[in-house]
Amino acid sequence: MSPPRVWINYKPRIYTEILKHLFKSMGLIEAIEDDPASRAAKGREEEIDVVLLSLDYLGQPDLEIPGERLKKAKVIAFSPKGDYGLRRLPGKTNWEEIRPFGLKQLMDELAWSGSGK
């Protein structure tokens, strides 16, 4: 079974780099390096399984790139404090709250995505 294809767009950017390095070194993910819009413009429209985002100052997912391609992916947004996370499953419009949301919950979400569920 192949690891999930994950696009990480967490702010601040250093968190994106840390998460990519951590999960790639563990073999948990295949990191998608470009955002979905630039991938489409380059003609590389492979599916994205999971999108990782930060929460904005109102506690909402910081979605910079809305689009059809994100509807097919599990979207996870979480607080850097580890107290709060949101999950939207592929094809759904509602968000599920996850409290607390730390590294273990993030790893569980990625493992769940890679299992083909």
Helix (H) or strand (E) holding 56: none
CB-based burial of residue 31 (10 Å sphere; 0-12 exposed, 13-18 middle, 19+ buried)?
middle
Edge-to-edge strand list for the sheet holding 30-32: 30-32, 5-9, 50-54, 74-78, 85-88, 96-98
State pTM to two decimals.
Answer: 0.85
The CATH number of whichever domain residue 13 belongs to comes to 3.40.50
pLDDT in tens, 92-107: 989 999 999 999 999 9
Q: Are strands 30-32 and 5-9 parallel, antiparallel or unpaired?
A: parallel
Counting the structural domains of the chain, the total is 1
**C-alpha to C-alpha distance for 68 and 90, rounded to whole angstroms:** 11
pLDDT in tens, 14-31: 999 999 999 889 888 998
pLDDT in tens, 31-75: 887 666 665 556 556 688 999 999 988 899 987 665 666 778 999
Q: Which amino acid is at 8?
A: I
Domain range spanning residue 56? Answer: 5-114
